[in-house]
Amino acid sequence: MRRLTLILHLCGGALLAGLLGVAQAAPLSSALGPLVLQEVAGGLEHPWALAFLPDGQGMLVTERPGRLRRVSADGQLSAPLAGVPEVFAVGQGGLLDVALSPQFATDRLVYLSYAEKGGDDLAGTAVGRGRLSADLGALEDFQVIFRQQPKLSSGIHFGSRLVFDRAGYLFVTLGENGQRPIAQDLGKLQGKVVRLQADGSVPADSPFAGRAGARAEIWSYGHRNPQGAALNPWTGQLWIHEHGPRGGDEINIPQAGRNYGWPRATHGINYSYLPIPEAEGETAPGTEPPHHVWAKSPAISGMAFYAGARFPAWQHSLFIGALSAQALIRLSLEGDKVVGEERLLEEKDWRIRDVREGPDGWLYLLTDESDGKLLRLGLEAPQP
């Protein structure tokens, strides 16, 4: 399709930047009006996550095989950044999430989550951080600050999203590595959300600190494979979502020390169509029900609340990527309550891996393909 240059005014007022877009073959519609969809960059191999750099320096994008790229303001892909750790790029494993330090303006620290190989060809999720070099070409002095223990994954269910809260704590979502019962085992880090200090140390007020047989890093447990997480901009609470088995994808608002049920409580069944052996039903004593659940799994990944001023009609929406459903899901919120659902971009047949609200008020999406794309999406409406 014919490419054209679009001029974008970033809401932060830092600059005017040209972004590359693509002409649309046909209009895209939504309940709130026509959509504008533009390609920012292509040629990404299974991109997994993105983070926005300040001052118009573009975005950092992870590629699951183990590369970290910078996409410039004009849509150009950099060479892979140096200093990225070796990853276990098997199955669902590889280089996963990326997040900037809350003090990035002064410390220039970039956080990565990734699948890390252990012994016996098994792996687990690790988190590390390095300093982005002045020329934007490398992560310097990269250090691992957290490792999921023990390493049990043969290539599935790593999680793993990174979210800093308003107090500067780092939340990490961890899959159960395909080992269902371990999600209930407080002595292991599978199927958990953990909360850390920015340096990887454990906060003194952790809910399981000092409890015999429990890992002090744990914030909540009973999770299956959480691949979406975001901080609610209106309440400051962490929201996550996680894959169910065949059915039962969930949104949860994890609270300190609470059990979110997997595999004792689930709305899904095994891929073999047989019941989950450990399941007691859709609910189980001592576990929290999901905040929202899908009976048929869209296979959800990535999560972004919309609080921007550019598209007021999207205010108080929660956007979630869908892999098997090949769509972008928009949930309408009233407070914390989900009151409506709309599926966008279904005609495109894209696996949407990540979704973020940009500093310019547009939505940015990554498609999980061997020739993956970085896209931006908005409403065809008057803009400030």
Residue 136 falls within a domain, yes or no? yes
- Could you list the active site residues? 157
C-alpha Rg value of the chain to the nearest Å: 20
Residue 50 falls within a domain, yes or no? no
Return d(Cα 157, Cα 377) in angstroms, integer.
Answer: 29
Residue 97 falls within a domain, yes or no? yes
Backbone angles phi, psi at 206, to 5 degrees: -60, 140
Return d(Cα 175, Cα 191) in angstroms, integer.
Answer: 5
Q: Is 328 helix (H, G, I), strand (E, B) or coil?
A: strand
- Positive or negative, the Cα torsion across 84, 86, 89, 94? negative
> CA nearest 181: which of 171, 169, 191?
191
Residue 49 falls within a domain, yes or no? no
What pLDDT score was predicted for residue 11?
A: 37
Tens digits of pLDDT across the chain (384 residues):
333 333 333 333 333 234 444 434 356 999 999 999 999 999 999 999 999 999 999 999 999 999 999 999 899 999 999 999 999 999 999 999 999 999 999 999 999 999 999 988 999 999 999 999 999 999 999 999 999 999 999 999 999 999 999 999 999 999 999 999 999 999 999 999 999 999 999 999 999 999 999 999 999 999 999 999 999 999 999 999 999 999 999 999 999 999 999 999 999 999 999 999 999 999 999 999 999 999 999 999 999 999 999 999 999 999 999 999 999 999 999 999 999 999 999 999 999 999 999 999 999 999 999 999 999 999 997 555
Contact 153, 159 (CB under 8 A): no
The CATH number linked to 111 is: 2.120.10.30
What pLDDT score was predicted for residue 87?
A: 98
Contact 71, 40 (CB under 8 A): yes
DSSP 253: -
Contact 22, 38 (CB under 8 A): yes
Contact 186, 211 (CB under 8 A): yes
Residue 365 falls within a domain, yes or no? no
Residue 363 falls within a domain, yes or no? no
Residue 381 falls within a domain, yes or no? no
**Range of the structural domain that residue 239 is part of:** 77-348
Based on the structure, what is the number of domains in the chain? Answer: 1
* DSSP letters for 155-193: SS-----EEE-TTS-EEEEE--TT-GGGGG-TTS-TTEE
Written as six digits, the tokens of 365 are 């999406």
Residue 194 falls within a domain, yes or no? yes
Q: Where are the beta strands (DSSP E) in 53-201?
A: 59-63, 67-71, 95-100, 109-117, 123-132, 139-147, 162-164, 170-174, 192-196
Q: Is 304 helix (H, G, I), strand (E, B) or coil?
A: strand
Q: Is 106 helix (H, G, I), strand (E, B) or coil?
A: helix
